[in-house]
Amino acid sequence: MREYELVYIIDPDLEEEAVVALIDRFAQLAASQGAEVLNTERWEKRKLAYEIKDKREGHYVIVTLRAQPAAIAEMERVLKITDGILRHMTVRKEERKAAAQVA
């Protein structure tokens, strides 16, 4: 399994309960795909660099997880069609090389 970092931005007009429900829904989706969620960090509501879907703010959520590429593809598919998600991006984290290989 590879390690990934996923950032998604939730619509700022949603109620607090709906925001928490979306975060929980994503965690359940990740678990159902066999992914291991290492950390979920919520940055609360922040100003966007530019407007997305006529919104100037959004709730940022950063998730670090270990998963197979197929699981990531399914999670991205679901994020694309989920109402309330303004934008998302997934980045594969670099694997650290042992210092012994340098010598």
Give the pLDDT score at 93. Answer: 86
Indicate the pTM of the whole model.
0.82
Domains delineated in the chain: 2-94 (3.30.70.60)
**DSSP for 66-83, written as a single string:** EE-HHHHHHHHHHHHH-T
Mean pLDDT of the chain, nearest integer: 89
**Average pLDDT value for residue range 75-87:** 93
Give the pLDDT score at 62. Answer: 95
**Average pLDDT value for residue range 33-39:** 92
Give buried/exposed letters for 30-57 (b at 16+ CB in 10 A, else e). beebebebeebeeeeeeeeeeeeeeeeb
What digits encode the pLDDT tens for the residues 40-64?
Answer: 999 988 999 999 999 999 999 999 9
